[in-house]
Structure 1
Amino acid sequence: MYLSQRLSLATAVAVVLGTALPVYSLNAQDTGTPDEEGQNLAQTKRFLSPLQFERIATFPVYLNLDSDSDLKTETAAEIIDVSKDGKTLIYSDSPGGKVGFIDIRDPDNPQPAGTLGMGGEPTSVAVVGRYALVAVNTSHSYANPSGHLSVVDMWNRVEVTTLDLGGQPDSVAVSPDGRYAAVAIENERDEDLDDGALPQAPGGFLQIVDLTGRPTNWRVRTVNLNGLADIAPYDPEPEYVDINERNIAAVTLQENNHLVYVDLTSIDDSDQILNHYSAGAVDLDAIDTVEDDVIRLTGSLSQVKREPDAVSWISRNLVAIANEGDYEGGSRGFSIFHRQSGLKFDSGNSYEHIAVRYGHYPESRSENKGSEPEGVEYGRYGSRDFLFVGSERGNFVAVYRIDGASDPQFVQLLPVTNGPEGLKAIPERNLFVVASEVEDAGEGLRSTVTLFRLQAGQASYPTLVSEGEPPIAWGALSALA
């Protein structure tokens, strides 16, 4: 297997003489539940695609350490992007205070290509032309957040200039036409202060960077996000941002459980915000809600706030969100929203059931947020549209075929190392890349970047897959060595 998981004997499957013996099973039952807007929490269908993503390489990030560094030095890949020619990956390394480069001219054999210090904690990265825009957190306290945008010349591996952002940045995105960048300034809360309760000043906001002329001439504009959300309206905490072809930024306010759409072309404060609405809540049945070393899909949760982390445009008017949760929610799946009319699809418990079905469910997180979907990415490969949803705790990425918003079809599960954080589709080269951030050198667990290629035929991943609904729960394979 590609990953380390906390596994339980109570949920293990023994493979003896070729026979799988499930220790624990459940009877099938109906789990469809309408949410508060009357949308069906549909079970996503399995789609037998003639093309699937095959793992071709895994790059341990510590290979990018300097030759004189201790190989146990903490280093990690979190958010990841690719150069314009598709041959160099760049990733943010928060514990190392730098960005790293990986040569993927031969994606089957990725090579270390060095690092560059950022003078702070890099939290996100996005590429525009020859430049990489790196969001850098330089805060010394929660009450006085600070940060800047570092502009890195990817050809020469040097920092060209920095732009003050006036707060703690968490996500950066570049418009498809290369005219704008948007930076989510979270100004995150102190979870040790009043048990992390909101509001906590200062609130966050969105920064727009006009990418006109040379980087030294770029200018920053601020979008005020106060007074929009029902939850802590004057402490907005923007988490993630993505931009569509019409230069509209979709922004998630995770702790506020809100979605905001911003017109990046407008310089008038009165019409920058096009619309906004709550991300809503979901009723969940047939899930595990007790941490007892046994996966029991008999629990339920009522009106769980989605609290989205990542957001990705999947068409001109539709966005997909990963409902990770961070404050009071986390609905264990993903949703699709129309920019104007709101919710169109919610995965309900089906994402959680995929984790169980493939033996990737993190039972030790059952009383929290389960498989904890954090990342979401869209890519069009030829005429095929794929949606990727990463499970931070289950250590996998679920791949879906999408055709509009109504019926995402599950294609396959991609196993990765612990803590998938950054997802990057590279359709021009038929590649998909995952940055996994968990790093514990003392335990032999290293952060990695995993590369997959879209190709004909079924992907080779030796495993058992539980049939039926709800699935038979299991957590380990033995006797395969």
Structure 2
Amino acid sequence: MKKNLLAAAMAAALSAAVPASAASLIDDASKAWTFQHSASNGFLSEIVSFDSATKTLWVAGVSGVDVLDAATGSFLQRIDVSPWGAINSVSVHNGIAAFAIENTADRTQPGVVKLFDTHTRALASGVNSITVGALPDMLTFTKDGSKLLVANEATPNTYGSRIGTTVPRVYGAAPNDPVGSVSIIDMNTRSVSATATLAGVAQTGSHIRSNTGMDFEPEYIAVNAAGTQAYVSLQEANAMGVLNLQTGRFESVIGLGAKDFSLPGNRIDPLNNGNKTGTSGYDLISPNVKGLYMPDGMAVYERNGQTYVLLANEGDFREDDGDRSAASSLGATGTLTNLRVSNTDSSTGNLYAAGGRSFSIRATDGTIIYDSGEILDREAMTLGIYNDARSRDKGVEPESVEVMTIGDRSFAFVGLERTAYNNDDAAVGSRVAALAVFDITDPAHTTFVRMLKSDGDMAPEGLEGYVLDGYAYIAFSNEVSSTTSVFRLAPVPEPETYAMLLAGLGLIGLAARRRLG
């Protein structure tokens, strides 16, 4: 009896400081603010990064960076980058904001990283300009800030031509295809210490796309907590590169395989027929089709000494869509007529669509630990924000993923690029952004929590979680609406609260054991 009373007392004390469940943590999430960016000089809200030193958000938008107050959304300054090119990404660490800027005169030529001081909002003192590879698309710091990694996508201006008439199609090499790479910048010297490329790297897994008329194109980078390895999405190739940051070389390219949409829980809507009457009016079916995962945004998560890679399985084709065809051109009829598929992987009766229409968790060797199946599309349908006009493409198009730990729970936030009211992503009144929330505290038993819906925003491209004044927030930059918005999620207990609580519980338990002994 005394033991039961002790257990109850301990549980009550713990619940007073630690939220009881994932659902209760996020239930009270609400929009804190929205900022509408000025479209002057071609600005378009794309990527957002938080600076804890100045409590500001830095939003990259093609022609410049808008700096906003993270608490209120107040506009502070616009930094014009157009004299150097176009900005694709921003990342902030320890008072330094790094800008990834492509050469707009010729994107196949080297790009540049510019370093800014977040306090002065001017170019940082000392070395502040570093030449990197062609079309730097994304950049991120290691956790300790000692390295800055830059994904150089290196997209060609003209793709390779088709060879022969066989199906699946095969494309030759592009006439001028710069080398896709990751630049590793040593922040102590502010110079490139290594440029990691992918030619000749060992390949594992399956369904690596190498016949598309272009080389590997690094898209996104996620770094483990120790700063020893990075995981790089090679989206169009349906692969992930594993980069050793100690040697500065890629160790492997892992093919991410294909998702079977005919299996239970993996249904898709391929019809593109304009249904918009709720879940009963959409056409989720289990067709004989597979999806190539092709992730865009990535994140890493550490649990019980293991590193997990989280991926937003958006799917993507070449810019000119040369590797894309309607399934009808490969003999598909009926419900699959309009589905857009990869013509470098598909043949009659064996169709491969782009994207997994899902969010996945994988081990570092590529093994799937969890996949959200049909949840993203289905939940958007339930909320009336599924854009059926995108059914033949990639559904809601999971674009980005961010991990946050609040109290004793860890969450993945997945930005969905294609949601809208009334199947209309052009009309202002139809604009709505959505972030899917998953509890990933136990990766193997990940659960869907809820969808955060934000009217007036559209096409979240970048996500950034941050803690400010005792609360957890998630910021999201929206490409179509050119807005940046923030959800206030939940209060965050101070680490000292947990330490004191656990120490107190330990003393209570010790005293009780002595009394009961």
TM-score range (shorter-chain normalised) is: 0.7 to 0.9
Q: CA RMSD in A?
A: 2.3
Which residue pairs with 2:478 in the alignment?
A: 436
Number of equivalences = 383
Q: 1:335 to 1:431 in 2, by over 3 A?
A: same
Question: Are 1:120 and 2:88 counterparts?
Answer: no
TM-score, normalization: structure 1?
0.75
Equivalent position SS for 2:67:
strand
Shift of the alpha carbon at 1:296?
A: 1.5
Could you tell me which residue of structure 2 aligns to residue 448 of structure 1? 483
Do 1:78 and 1:421's aligned partners in 2 also have CA atoms closer than 8 Å? yes
Q: Determine the structure 1 residue equivalent to 2:32.
A: 56
- TM-score, with structure 2 as normaliser: 0.70
* Shift, 1:409, TM fit: 1.5
Q: Supply the distance in 1 between the matched residues of 2:172 and 2:223 (Cα, whole angstroms).
A: 28
- The aligned residue for residue 68 of structure 1 is none
1:47, distance to aligned residue in structure 2 (A): 5.8
Q: Which of 173, 191, 198 matches 1:225? A: 198
Unmatched segments (≥5 aa) in structure 2: 1-20, 163-169, 276-281, 318-341, 343-353, 420-432, 492-517
Please list the CA deviations of residues 305-348 of structure 1 after superposition, one character each: whole Å capped at 9, or x if unmatched: 10110110012510100011112411111111101362211112
2:45 is the counterpart of 1:77: yes
2:146 is the counterpart of 1:179: yes
Larger Rg over CA atoms: 2
CA contact (8 A) 2:133 2:154 kept: no
Which residue identity does 2:154 align to in structure 1? N
CA distance in 2, matches of 1:193, 1:370: 28
Deviations 1:142-188 (A, max 9, x none): 5x333100111111111232100031111101111111111110012
Q: Which residue of 1 aligns with 2:135?
A: 168
Q: Where does structure 1 lack aligned partners over 5 or more consecutive residues?
A: 1-45, 63-70, 439-445, 457-481
User: 1:194 and 1:320, CA in 2 relative to 1: closer, same or farther beyond 3 A?
Assistant: same
Indicate the residue corresponding to 1:32 in structure 2. Answer: none
Q: Secondary structure at the match of 2:287?
A: strand
Give the match for residue 187 of structure 2.
211
Does the alignment pair 1:331 with 2:371? Answer: no
Structure 1 distance, partners of 2:42, 2:251, is: 42
Greater CA deviation, 326-335 or 299-308? 299-308
* Secondary structure, counterpart of 1:300 in structure 2: coil
Q: Which amino acid aligns with 1:183?
A: V
The amino acid of 2:110's aligned partner reads S
Give the conservation status (yes or no) of the 8 Å contact 1:139–1:146: no
Residue number in structure 2 paired with 1:280: 257
- Percent identity reads 28
Shift in Å, 1:279: 1.4
Secondary structure at 1:430 match in 2 = strand
Equivalent-residue separation in structure 2 for 1:430 and 1:245 (angstroms): 21
Alpha-carbon distance between aligned partners in 2 of 1:49 and 1:336, rounded to the nearest angstrom: 23
Q: Partner letter of residue 23 of structure 2?
A: L
SS at match of 2:376: helix
Query: CA 1:369/1:430 → structure 2, altered by over 3 Å: closer, same or farther?
Result: same
Residues in 2 aligned to 1:368 and 1:422: alpha-carbon distance in whole angstroms: 21
How many angstroms apart in 2 are the aligned matches of 1:331 and 1:72?
Answer: 36
Counterpart of 2:410 (choices 357, 370, 385) is: 385
Q: Deviations over 1:106-142 (max 9, x none)?
A: x2x3200111112211001111211101100114345
SS at the partner of 1:314?
A: strand
How has the CA–CA distance of structure 1 residues 198 and 330 changed in structure 2, closer, same or farther, with 3 Å as cutoff?
Answer: farther
Show the counterpart of 2:385: 360
Higher relative contact order (Cα pairs below 8 Å, separated by 6+ residues): 1
Counterpart of 1:311 in structure 2 is 298
